[in-house]
Amino acid sequence: MSPAEINGTGVRLRAYRPDDADAVAAGYDDPLSYRFLPPLPSPFTLAQAERFLSEGVAAIFAEGGAAYAIADPETDDLLGGIGFDKVVPSRGQAEIGYWVGPWARGRGVATAAVRALSAHALGAGLERLELLTHWENAVSQRVALASGFQREGVRRAALPDRAGGRDDLIVFARLAADDGLPIERALPDLPGGELTDGVVRLRPLGPDDTGFLTALRSLPDVWSTSVPPQPPTPEQVRRRCTRAAAHWLEGARADMVIVDVATGAPAGEIGLFYQEPATGQGMIGYSVLPAFRGRGFATRAAQLVALWAFAETDIARLIAGALPTNVGSQRVLQKAGFRREAYLRSRLPGPDGVRTDDVQFVLLAEDLLTEGPRLDG
């Protein structure tokens, strides 16, 4: 039997009441709810909120789930809602979900509520709770990690969307045996949200960068050295931008835009790929628009990424590669402190099915600490 009330840090989970209808309607009719809760009708009306409170909540409990209002413990005002459903008794498993009204976001409400309900459910007989999010919902992914849910993978085409297609969902899970502490991230956020040396600024790649990245990735000398060596489709570029935050939170890669501080214009991109966490090895790759080449932007970006990686992550070794004919890229790496280490024959797929050699460079944490950053070009 579910308790009437569950107390969390700064939140109280209580039973829904009829007078919550206006707040429920406002929360469910919000653009974020529309985007990430496609089963909801839109617009979501007051009458539909009243029906949910009078019938929907009871139905969830009748099926073995739970549904609570998230309330302010001081005022009892409704901040959002939370619950679990899709209960599989034979597996001791359920799926947790929540929403927070726009008037209560940015205060840690969702994390506090997920922690409170998860601790109760997993302490009362459930063995596994799943939390599913859209790729683009980085806020929900942060809530999952902060609430002790580990990322497990991607459930393909798991949820119908409003356009008649189906969306992939990222799966997070917390077990009864887990300690519930926040999941440590392999790639933390940038300090203050960016890296800069006064000449270039690095910020995370995001959905608004689709046009810029399309222009950059469509350049023959950029896509021909990519893997695979072919121009990306518009959908591939869109996914690269909209899923960048999820990949960063996963700890797989950190994609950044190189910005010209003087003009504020995007000049290029640089990525850190955490390819071997077990050995502490990462890899960087970069490309710059023609108008900004020859100005040392790639070198500065590589130095900034290396300093951040060695200071804020467990990466101890950074590698980067360049075509044997790409003397300019090799100079970039050498100026950034990288040392040539190997010549790898036929390492990469090239255009027209011909494989290409790769010159590999490496930078160690102790090298950078010994020599210091070179910001002269």
Q: How far is CA 370 from CA 120, 226, 333, in A?
A: 51, 32, 17
What is the rounded distance in angstroms from the CA atom of residue 137 to the CA atom of residue 112? 18
Torsion, Cα of 96, 144, 127, 93 (10° steps): 40
> In this predicted structure, what is the pLDDT of residue 1?
47
pLDDT lower than 50: segments of the chain: 1, 377
Place of tokens 């990466």: 315
| pLDDT attached to residue 372 | 58
Give the integer Cα–Cα distance in Å for 35 and 313. Answer: 33
pLDDT in tens, 166-191: 999 999 999 999 999 999 999 999 99
Run of H or E including 203: strand 200-204
Name the segment(s) of the chain with CATH classification 3.40.630.30: 5-175, 191-371
| pLDDT, tens only, 294-350 | 999 999 999 999 999 999 999 999 999 999 999 999 999 999 999 999 999 999 998
Give pLDDT, residue 377. Answer: 43
DSSP helix, strand, coil percent of the chain (3-state; round to 5): 35, 30, 35
CA distances in angstroms from 4 to 85, 93, 142, 176, listed in the order given: 17, 22, 28, 22
| pLDDT score for 352 | 83
The confidence score (pLDDT) of residue 371 equals 65
Yes or no: domain 191-371 corresponds to CATH 3.40.630.30 = yes
pLDDT at 51: 96
pLDDT tens-digit map of 245-267: 999 999 999 999 999 999 999 99
- Would strands 166-175 and 150-160 be described as parallel, antiparallel, or unpaired? antiparallel
In this structure, the number of other CB atoms found within 10 A of the CB of residue 184 comes to 8
* Cis preceding linkage at 43, omega within 30: yes
pTM of the model as a whole: 0.93
pLDDT at 60: 95
User: What is residue 242's predicted lDDT score, i.e. its pLDDT?
Assistant: 97
Closest-CA residue to 80 (of 135, 143, 123): 143
Map tokens 């409003």 to a residue: 162
What is the fold of 5-175?
A: Aminopeptidase (3.40.630)
Residue type (1 letter), 212: F
